[in-house]
Structure 1
């Protein structure tokens, strides 16, 4: 007699899909849909402002602007996949950028600015992680407190003034002469962070633990996962991404300001959601999040080229977010049936 196994076949389910058969296919369809939206936006931009929008310099600008929020979004995707939220990413970026551009810090040159930006991001992420994982605080409250504190400290450091970067080796990374085969260094960093993020989420034990914690924290704990330590690591990762993004913004703007990263938390969350990351946790996609960033950045660029008011732009972004959430709910219902 031939024995049949009762173990369900999940070979078609990706690690980041929470192990649900067929969900990986739906995520691919979502990514293809986002690519379609992005292509439609490119067509609109090319039709309304062909000379400006399709120029090499403008496409480089779009990718460069997407790089800063894109790196933040990669970290946010991990946090949301685990069932958490981080409202402090924009404020952490601002604090890291101003701390890294003080006169005292700039005396240490390129390495000093980079180290300070990353160290401040990690320190803030550590505080968030400790409060949430070991302090028992709700992520919304803990990161909201960090948002207020980091913004306040950034304002105190700058005294409301813009801190100009004088380290030439940092400024040189933002000029066309530093481009590699026409690609700005910031875009290369964004691409590297994206690839590493995808590999970690989809091909490592850390990624599988992240999905497990977001899907069912208690079941993950019973399976032997240290849920608190995992959450601590995730907020450290988010802080690291904020530190890297702060350095990229310093290169892009050539300065540090306490207003840097304003509303970045909302943009990062929105990009992750429309990309297919489940807001309640248990499912995440780095590729989808990056496509979401590119969609929003392209929308902003098209509106700017056509001299349209920012309020209309915000309405368009809001409509896209609502549509994405409704599609997400239908996808979940389809997976349960």
Structure 2
């Protein structure tokens, strides 16, 4: 019997045990995602009512998707890490360091002599290397993920400031900006990148051994170890994966702003964790969906867009988003407590 069949049967049994049909539906992955779709549609309705055609036109839809792209790419990697029982507070700093390193004078000169893909390689390598350091020290150094990634947050941001001398580095490599800012079929290439990363993440989580091992490690590390899974190695892989996603996000930010800066990715960790939690991924690990994360990213991006169109302050946006996060966590706890008593 396939993994999907087992999961569907398990969710069906849980639904039968739950006397409240609404909670029973929300406990299934399909129900959670359906609820997110309804929430997104309601938010879009609010946007159409309060901002009118400014919200509903095609250009604004593309603006929302472009706004979601950078956060979305990192959120895909964060989904894997949190499902695997970890957390990463350093993603914003890793994005900043990757953006600075791939736009140094030396890197850009090499890119001009060889190819602009050299900048891409540098950003991806720097992001992956930071993830590797996080993973090794968490898995084999037994450092708590919260503490290790907090240390990486400070270190990576500091190194980015040292390399750039706290100055903005302008991109002058021909071809780089043209590739990342062009349209394909009328849609920005950065939106296509977000879609590509999302599809790849869904396949990796739902159709590969890597995804099954990630869920197993996050659900019960000791049981996963007894089942023959190398838990430490899997943990390292997860942090390398999110580091790689940070490298992609850094390239997208560099292309969007035509600069590399130590200030890039500020508070990105909060946005990504919030999107993942809203998407239904348990902070305790062992459960989550890529579809839910994508919907969570779109929800936050749409809310931000509506606040901007209605000239509301950033402080009001933050307050509203914080309330949504608290509500999502409370709902998760409610569902988890009902699960433990059934």
Structure 2 length-normalised TM: 0.91
Contact 1:10–1:19 under 8 Å retained in 2:
no
What is the Cα deviation at residue 12 of structure 1?
4.7
Taking the aligned partners of 2:40 and 2:11, their CA distance within structure 1 comes to 27
135, 140, 146: which is aligned to 2:152? Answer: 146
Shift of 1:14: 5.7
Give the aligned partner of residue 188 of structure 1: 192
Q: Match for residue 99 of structure 1?
A: 101
Aligned mates of 1:295, 1:182 — CA distance in 2: 23
1:120 aligns with 2:120: no
TM-fit CA distance, 1:335:
2.6
1:19 deviates by 11
1:62/1:301 contact within 8 Å kept: yes
Which sits farther off after the overlay, 189-198 or 51-60? 51-60
**Structure 1: unaligned runs, 5 residues or longer:** 1-6
Structure 2 gap segments, 5+ residues each: 16-24
Q: 1:54 aligns with which of 56, 62, 65?
A: 56
Q: CA deviation at 1:292?
A: 0.6
- Residue 233 (structure 1) aligns with: 237
Secondary structure of 2:28's match?
helix
- Give the match for residue 19 of structure 2: none
Instruction: Work out the CA distance in 2 between the residues paired with 1:48 and 1:77.
Output: 32
Match of 1:41 in 2: 43
Contact 1:122 1:243 in 2 (8 A): yes
Find the counterpart in structure 2 of residue 247 from structure 1: 251
**Equivalent residue number for residue 166 of structure 1:** 172
Tell me, yes or no, if the aligned pair for 2:177 and 2:255 is still in contact at 8 Å.
yes
* Aligned mates of 1:286, 1:269 — CA distance in 2: 13
Q: Contact 1:13 / 1:21 at 8 angstroms: preserved in 2?
A: no
Give 2:284's match in structure 1, choosing from 277, 280, 283. 280
Count of residues in correspondence between the two structures: 327
User: Is the Cα contact below 8 Å between 2:170 and 2:258 reproduced in 1?
Assistant: yes
8 Å contact from structure 2 (residues 204, 211) kept in 1: yes
Relative to structure 1, the CA distance from residue 196 to residue 10 in structure 2 (aligned partners, 3 Å threshold; closer, same or farther) is closer
CA pair 20-167 structure 1, distance change in 2 beyond 3 A: farther
Root mean square deviation, CA, Å: 2.1
Contact 1:14 1:202 in 2 (8 A): no
Instruction: Give deviations 1:213-257, integer Å, cap 9, x for gaps.
Output: 111101110111100000000000010110011111111111111
Runs (4+) of structure 1 exceeding 6 A deviation are 17-20
Residue 59 of structure 1, CA deviation: 1.2
Provide TM-score, normalisation by structure 1. Answer: 0.92
Matches within 5 A, 1:67-86: 67-86=69-88
Q: Take 2:213 and 2:47, find their aligned partners in 1: how far apart are those partners? A: 41
Residue 320 of structure 2 corresponds to residue 308 of structure 1: no
